[in-house]
Every structure is written in structure tokens, then in C-alpha cells.
Amino acid sequence: MKLDVKDFERKMQKSIEAYENELKSIRAGRANPGVLDKITVDYYGSPTQISSVAQVSVPDARTITITPWDKTMLKAIEKAIQASELGINPQNDGSMLRLSFPPLTEERRKELAKDISKKGEAAKVALRNIRRDANDKCKELKKAGTMTEDEQKSSEKEVQDLTDKYTKQLDKITDAKSKEIMEI
């Protein structure tokens, strides 16, 4: 009986998706509404994403505007952005907030690129842990006698091929984000 690698492949896909979502919150030199995804505001007692209580738009490459559907939320959204690690002070004109993104300095770009590399390495470790779990499962099945040695080797090779595939995909994502950050 060969190991069903579908579960492990799904876990690897989820790791990649989590990594991509994490990268969205890193701001490059241009405005990206994804930087607001991790910021929540208190909306009638429950933490809610800004995009759920306001219209978020990008009128130009360096600006994000936030127009709350309920004007009483304006101050709460402003405070949440100021309290976040975004590092941008919103401009409040009474009906909407404007976030102006200054161009990144060379030093800050290099710092962000290093951070992206670290996050990429952490994601690779997650993939390797999934591979280890799959290989442990193979050994377990072999020990229990439900898998032959050839099936074990075949399953382990299949898992390794999956790991290689997702590691390459991860490298491409990391390189693309690093290039985006280093652009002036």
C-alpha cells in the first residue's frame, strides 16, 4: 500500500498560501491595500478587518484612501492604523482617511529584503516539517507491515518530489517580492 500524499500536498499548499498572505502585509514602495489586512478595528465589540467596515481604494501608486460606511468608525480606524506597525500616519479629512506611502530608502529596502528572506526560510522549514511527517508515516506503515520497502521508497521519493516542487515555488515568490521591494 502506497502512501496517499494528497494530505501532505494540501498542507504544503496551505503553507505557501500562508506565506503569500504574510508577504502581502509587507509594504513595498507602492500602495497596496493588502497592508491593511492584519489591522483590525473594534466594530460593535468584535475585531473586524478595515476592508469589512470601509471602502479601501488606491487612487494612485502612493496613496490608499479609506472611506468608512459608518462615519463614526473614522476615529477607530485612524487609531488602529496609528497603533499598527505600518509606520504611516493617516490624514483625516472628516469623511475619509488618506494614507500616503513615501518612497522607501535604500537601507529600508535592504532591511525588508532580508526580512522576506527570513520569512522564506521559515516557510521552507514548514515544508520540510511536512516532508518529515510524511516520511515518518511511511516508516510507521512499513513497521506495521502494511507497506513494502519498495512502496516506502517510492512514497518517500514522491514526497521529496512534492517538497522540491513547493520549495521552487516558494523561491520564485520570495525572489519576486524581493525584486518588487528593491525597485525604485
What the chain holds in terms of domains, given with CATH numbers, is 6-23+105-182 (1.10.132.20), 31-100 (3.30.1360.40)
SS3 at position 154: helix
Closest alpha carbon to 53 in 97, 88, 17: 97
The count of residues in the chain is: 184
pLDDT 10s digit of each residue in the chain, 184 long? 677 788 889 999 999 999 988 887 776 666 778 778 888 888 888 888 888 888 988 888 788 898 998 888 888 888 888 888 777 888 888 888 898 877 778 888 888 889 899 999 999 999 999 999 999 988 898 888 888 888 888 989 999 999 999 999 999 999 988 888 887 6
Cell 503553507 identifies what position?
Answer: 15
User: What is the dihedral sign for C-alpha 171, 118, 112, 107?
Assistant: negative
The model carries a pTM of 0.70
